[in-house]
Structure 1
Amino acid sequence: MTDHHHLSHGEKLVEIDDVELCFETFGNPADPAILLIDGATASMLWWEAELCEQIARGDRFVIRYDNRDTGRSTSYPPGRPGYVFTDLAGDALGILDALDVERAHIVCRSMSGGIGLIIGVDHPDRVESLTFVSTSTGQDGLPAPSAELASGVPADPDPADSGAVVDFVVASAKACSGGSPYFDETAARTLVERDVARTRDIASTLVNHYAMAFEGSSRDFAYIDAPTLVVHGDHDPVFPLPHGHALCDAIPGSTLLVLEGAGHDLPKPLWDVFVPALLQHTRGGRR
């Protein structure tokens, strides 16, 4: 484990077709690349810099970025996202192209599990391995989100009132933690304040991922042939744990890591479980 090259290289903007995407890298570009893709409404900040550095210290080149309509990346009018799900998968590959990364270890959280599915099935040559965090196959018969989740999320805020937006996002994050003993409200508020301050159009962030068309997510997880790790919290109120088991069952040869005490998030006290597992999983790549 080397410790001399793990720091961030700073945020950069790259234009891919007509879309501007903000990304940040950590570590040595000569090391195996790990691309972190976050879920609905979440900018790259939700892959905390400290977590990215911890992974990079394991001799990995870590890339995080703002999906469209989050953070500093291109945004569209609220309720009218000018893209569909497969476009977001194209953005992920565009980031790899911009960094001259031929193949990466792809880590997808929550909604972006669909991005990992599209890339894994349609562009297997770009994938060394896949990791799905807090996501789902979306198949029928799996448990619905917990009742506590709905009661914990406040009414939608006025996007013009940044204080109300911060309170809303923090309350949503707390609800998504599923009552996890590890939820740190102070740290969450600090992150959310920074996130809201750097976001191009928070009104679009709050709604557009839910408004886009999910065409293309009809692909089947059974066709993924990259080494796959499924990571799921046993307190997840959004996709209760059976979703993680179903995803692992659907992907041939995949492995399930259950994070005890985690909700829909990756709480800091569990990084010492998650990071070694991710480093182990990304050691080899395809045989």
Structure 2
Amino acid sequence: MATIRVNGVDLGVESFGRDDDPLVLLVGGTTMLSWPDSLCQRLAEAGRRVVRYDLRDSGASSTLDPENPTYDLRDLADDAADLVTALGAKSAHLAGIGVGGMVAQVAALDHPENISALTLVSTRPVAPGPVDDDLPDHDQTVMSAVFSRPQPDWTDRRAVAEFAAEGAALLGNDAEQARAAAARIWDRTPTSDTSVHQANQLGMVFSRLDCSPRWRERLRNLRIPSLIVHGRADPFFPVGNAEVLAAEITEAQPLIFEDMGTQIPEWATEDIATAMLRL
């Protein structure tokens, strides 16, 4: 674990593998723990230098006011590109999950010299908010069930972990994996501030970011090997979003798992790593 200062902020990072191996940079969605340890280790064992990191206002990265961010999506994309350079690499295989997938798309478009391959997991080609007519939106029945639950005491580690486990089944995820990840995220939150704990667990900062202008129409200009990973059981970004991404990006290959929800399950990490290593 370390922090690296780029673009005027400190980013919390964790590295796997040898420093002189080709770089795979994993954008958190929003914390680095969105990426399972087993996936990072598998890529490192195969000869990749894997670095996962926390977005701003999450985990070990600079936290100011997640309820009122003073940066936008382009700043987060610049963070990713600048981190490639700060890590001493000419370019990287960039991977993003969830909202981190939006960061990865914009980074690949705005900084093509820094990005040699792209993996997008459980994400979509437009910003939070209203979607295009050909993109399936959140499953409203599931979203109502998820967000109508009483909020936990965000300063209570056990309550937060239980809250995550209870919501996992609704989102197509493994309850025990979600419980363990939530506890680890809680442990890494550097303050007892309720709003920061909530932001770390739920990624709330993204709903407050300026994500304009649109980037979907630019995706056809990407000319790098790309992998689109998605679960057919994902109610947050239904699988049709992945199908559109795969169609929009010229060299994209889809990898769809029937029983995967919003997060990467442990049982899928081997197949995902194998597919990433082909890029």
Please give the TM-score of this superposition, normalised by the length of structure 1: 0.85
Q: Residues 125-144 of structure 1 correspond to what in structure 2 (within 5 A)?
A: 125-138=113-126, 139-144=132-137
> 1:196 aligned to 177, 186, 202, which one?
186
> 2:162 aligned to 155, 160, 167, which one?
167
Structure 2 residues without counterparts, runs of 5 or longer: 127-131, 191-195
Superposed CA deviations along residues 99-142 of structure 1, whole A, max 9, x for unmatched, are 11110001111112222221221111111111111111233332
**Sequence identity, in percent?**
31
Query: Match for 2:89: what amino acid?
Result: V
Query: Match for 2:77: what amino acid?
Result: A
Is the partner of 1:95 in helix, strand or coil?
helix
Alpha-carbon distance between aligned partners in 2 of 1:170 and 1:74, rounded to the nearest angstrom: 27
Q: Residues 72-91 of structure 1 correspond to what in structure 2 (within 5 A)?
A: 72-91=60-79
* Range with bigger deviation, 185-194 or 224-233: 185-194
Is residue 207 of structure 2 the alignment partner of residue 210 of structure 1?
yes
Q: Are the aligned partners of 1:12 and 1:24 in contact in 2 as well (CA < 8 Å)?
A: yes
Residue 266 of structure 1, CA deviation: 1.1
Q: 1:209 to 1:169 in 2, by over 3 A?
A: farther
Q: Residues 226-241 of structure 1 correspond to what in structure 2 (within 5 A)?
A: 226-241=224-239
Superposed CA deviations along residues 239-258 of structure 1, whole A, max 9, x for unmatched, are 11111111111111311111
Q: Are the aligned partners of 1:33 and 1:103 in contact in 2 as well (CA < 8 Å)?
A: yes
Alpha-carbon distance between aligned partners in 1 of 2:154 and 2:53, rounded to the nearest angstrom: 23
Query: Match for 2:215: what amino acid?
Result: S
Residue 72 of structure 1, CA deviation: 1.0
Is the partner of 1:128 in helix, strand or coil?
strand
Would you say how many aligned residue pairs link Structure 1 and Structure 2?
264
Match of 2:52 in 1: 64
Q: 1:118 to 1:225 in 2, by over 3 A?
A: same
Q: Are the aligned partners of 1:234 and 1:259 in contact in 2 as well (CA < 8 Å)?
A: yes
Superposed CA deviations along residues 53-91 of structure 1, whole A, max 9, x for unmatched, are 111111111010011111111112241112111111111
Q: Residues 1-287 of structure 1 correspond to what in structure 2 (within 5 A)?
A: 11-39=1-29, 42-138=30-126, 139-146=132-139, 147-153=141-147, 154-177=149-172, 183-200=173-190, 201-205=196-200, 206=202, 207-218=204-215, 220-281=218-279
Structure 1 residues without counterparts, runs of 5 or longer: 1-10, 178-182, 282-287
Is the partner of 1:62 in helix, strand or coil?
strand
Superposed CA deviations along residues 218-274 of structure 1, whole A, max 9, x for unmatched, are 352112111111111111111111111111111113111111211111111112221
Residue 193 of structure 1, CA deviation: 0.9
Superposed CA deviations along residues 33-58 of structure 1, whole A, max 9, x for unmatched, are 1111122xx31122122220111111
Q: 1:118 to 1:256 in 2, by over 3 A?
A: same
Match of 2:129 in 1: none
* Range with bigger deviation, 197-206 or 54-63: 197-206
Q: Are the aligned partners of 2:95 and 2:119 in contact in 1 as well (CA < 8 Å)?
A: yes
Alpha-carbon distance between aligned partners in 2 of 1:87 and 1:216, rounded to the nearest angstrom: 13
Alpha-carbon distance between aligned partners in 2 of 1:190 and 1:277, rounded to the nearest angstrom: 26
Q: Are the aligned partners of 2:120 and 2:229 in contact in 1 as well (CA < 8 Å)?
A: yes
Q: Aligned-pair RMSD on alpha carbons?
A: 1.9
Q: Are the aligned partners of 1:170 and 1:185 in contact in 2 as well (CA < 8 Å)?
A: yes
Alpha-carbon distance between aligned partners in 2 of 1:104 and 1:129, rounded to the nearest angstrom: 7
Alpha-carbon distance between aligned partners in 1 of 2:18 and 2:266, rounded to the nearest angstrom: 23
Q: 1:78 to 1:266 in 2, by over 3 A?
A: closer
Please give the TM-score of this superposition, normalised by the length of structure 2: 0.87
Q: 1:273 to 1:203 in 2, by over 3 A?
A: closer
Query: Match for 1:176: what amino acid?
Result: L
Is the partner of 2:235 in helix, strand or coil?
coil
